[in-house]
Amino acid sequence: METQDGGLNIYGGVLFKMGIKFASRMDNIKSSAIRELLKLTEIPDIISFAGGLPAPELFPVKEMQEVCVRVLEEDGKAALQYSTTEGFLPLRAKIAKQMSHLGMTCDAQNVLMTSGSQQGLEFTGKIFINEGDTVICESPSYLGALNAFKAYLPKFVEIPMDEDGMLIDELEKALEAHPDAKFIYTIPDFQNPTGRTMSLERRKRLMELAIKYEIPVVEDNPYGELRFEGEMLPSIKSFDTKGLVIHLGTFSKIFAPGLRLGWVVADTEVLQQYIKVKQGADLQCSTIAQREVDKFLEMFKLDDHIEKIKNVYRKRRDLMIETMRKEFPANVTFTVPQGGLFAWATLPEGQDAAHVLKLALEEKVAFVPGEPFYPNGGHANTCRLNYSNMPEDKIVEGIKRLGKVLRSLQ
């Protein structure tokens, strides 16, 4: 295998100039296709449906000014000092309380603060995966999770989905075929990349299977609070009677990603593993960021803020879907998400979304081809479309341009 700089891999690892030998796992870690694509989308005037960024105009900037001053006035020394690995206790207590929205009963002792939920995913890989182990995930699944897991050299078994999420019969077949699988990774609410939501019945059945096969479930839930319509579904963790579900949450989509604050909710004994790994990884999350978010939750109503976000994203979703219905050829299908940040389009079999992207960039519109979201590849005819980060007029204009490109390929 040849490495980027032409060195030959003769050590079961990357051989670098001057004989530097990297670990084997580095062969398996690729720079995120999306992060690389995001660089392309920095071209001025581009209409980008590529990223997964929240709308910055909704960030509570004014409130944060108040909050920052208050935190430093009230206990500035503590805010700038080292603190515990687990995280700021009052904030963990508030998060535990917030989890009741999802039907979960937990307390601060079940919560570990992480640097975004991405860090929870990375820790999951580290804690569970030996080289060659099997990880079960939705097909497609979140690229950032797949990349985090890949560093630990697992095999992926993909479970097909329909509009109600993972096909549970297929999951059971996979569990039978892979009794040593390490965990099931799922994003039940407004999944990244498809925007699909797992039905209540499937959540229950998934939990039953997890208990039957004694397998942990990693429930990644960055978007669950961003439901535009219908009733909020209880989390899979809420049906967990055996301490098998590890639930990941984050402030990135309901508050601000720039603070890098997420959390893991788990049975205390499982959480102990995450805490140990957090110590070695970076000791703790930012003390001041934790105290700022805690102060924000004290001074303002997070739920009101979430309501504002939902109203804006709902409109953007409506416009994107409506415009796709008008502008896309009939043989292009797409999901209609009930919340979250993403829709998912499937082009006719044989079309290549990477080629479509190339044409789209000429029209100054961008999206993410779907193939990298399939850990075992394939499905080159799929596309992820983000609607949270573009204003309404640009959504309409961008989808029109994309429609023009797609019609030209008919």
* Closer to a copy of itself by Cβ: residue 247 or 401: 247
* Closer to a copy of itself by Cβ: residue 98 or 287: 287
* Closer to a copy of itself by Cβ: residue 18 or 330: 18
CB of 230 to a copy of itself, least distance (A): 28
CB of 290 to a copy of itself, least distance (A): 9
DSSP 233: P
114 in Cβ contact with 161 (< 8 Å)? no
134 in Cβ contact with 181 (< 8 Å)? yes
CB of 337 to a copy of itself, least distance (A): 20
Tell me how far apart the alpha carbons of residues 317 and 404 are, in angstroms, rounded to a whole number.
Answer: 20
Query: Position 378: which residue type?
Result: G
Tell me how far apart the alpha carbons of residues 295 and 75 are, in angstroms, rounded to a whole number.
Answer: 12
CB of 341 to a copy of itself, least distance (A): 12
Tell me how far apart the alpha carbons of residues 160 and 137 are, in angstroms, rounded to a whole number.
Answer: 9
Tell me how far apart the alpha carbons of residues 210 and 251 are, in angstroms, rounded to a whole number.
Answer: 28
Query: Position 353: which residue type?
Result: A
* Closer to a copy of itself by Cβ: residue 100 or 279: 279
CB of 249 to a copy of itself, least distance (A): 15
CB of 162 to a copy of itself, least distance (A): 29
* Closer to a copy of itself by Cβ: residue 124 or 323: 124
Residues 6+ apart with CB under 8 A from 364: 43, 45, 46, 47, 401
Tell me how far apart the alpha carbons of residues 289 and 409 are, in angstroms, rounded to a whole number.
Answer: 49
Residue from 207, 205, 276 nearest 243 by CA = 207
CB of 270 to a copy of itself, least distance (A): 7
* Closer to a copy of itself by Cβ: residue 146 or 320: 146
Burial category of 17 from C-beta neighbours within 10 Å (exposed 0-12, middle 13-18, buried 19 and up) = exposed
147 in Cβ contact with 185 (< 8 Å)? no
* Closer to a copy of itself by Cβ: residue 152 or 313: 152
* Closer to a copy of itself by Cβ: residue 104 or 218: 218
Q: In Å, how far from its chain's centre is CA 401? A: 28
Which residues in 235-296 belong to E strands, given as ranges? 245-250, 262-265
Provide the β-strand partners of residue 246. 218
381 in Cβ contact with 375 (< 8 Å)? no
Residue for token digits 């005037």? 45
* Closer to a copy of itself by Cβ: residue 83 or 381: 83
Tell me how far apart the alpha carbons of residues 87 and 94 are, in angstroms, rounded to a whole number.
Answer: 12
CB of 331 to a copy of itself, least distance (A): 34
CB of 61 to a copy of itself, least distance (A): 3
